Chain A
Amino acid sequence: MAENRIDARGLSCPQPVLLVANAVLKNEFPIVVLVDGMTAEENIRRYAESKNLKVSINHHDDEAEITIAN
């Protein structure tokens, strides 16, 4: 299955984690999320870990690419 890319940069709370939650419900793994703030990053990581999903995060400059896999 093709990876599911979400661009959540610049979105207010709780939209980034909401977009991720929708993708998780659709079972579209792996999910790759682009965020530009620590709050969104922490929220997404906390959500994914609470669902026992695997999370890896790559930082570059002000942005982070979060990969979520089941």
Chain B
Amino acid sequence: MSAASMLSRPVYGTLSPQAGKHHLLVADAEGAAAILDLAKNAPADFFAKAHIIYIPGASGPEYIDALKALNPERFYEGPSFAAALPRLRQTFDAAHMGTRLYIAGSEGLIGQVMQVAAEAGVDHASIQTEQRGSLARRVQCVHCKGITENVTTQPVKCSHCGLLLLVRDHYSRRYAAFQGVCINAEDPTDIPPTEEIFR
């Protein structure tokens, strides 16, 4: 199986303000810069109807003041995606049609927010996304189904079952993960070198 780029690989765009009654913006780390860029083109009343959920991660406090200076209707800063999740779910539950969703940052964050949005009935095609920062991947082991986070190497050892996985470009929105398939199933003694390629 080849790891060449394929059509299930998500294509991310550039955030741009959409017509809408409310705007929910979710970002991690460098994703904040995408929100700041969007702000340059946004109508004057855009952030008065906006809710920003931000997970600074490795970026630390770098972007916090600039995001707050946009004067969003609500601003939340959280330590991790897991910590922000209950708030995100509650926000979707209470939302009406006309609420637009924007996600920026790592591929893992984009995928996981899209998962929650899908549960709330938002079609993936209705969402604005922009990839910024780390290219590390979430990888699902097709054999044991466990997900290994922050994968930067090819191949990678499954953090659950220990099989050596080829990380394919084949991507599942439902799992918000790339597919990992045992790279040496036909000859387990064949151990290819590990290279750091998703950074």
A is bound by B = no
Q: Which of B's residues lie within 8 Å of A, judged by CB?
A: none
Q: Which of A's residues lie within 8 Å of B, judged by CB?
A: none
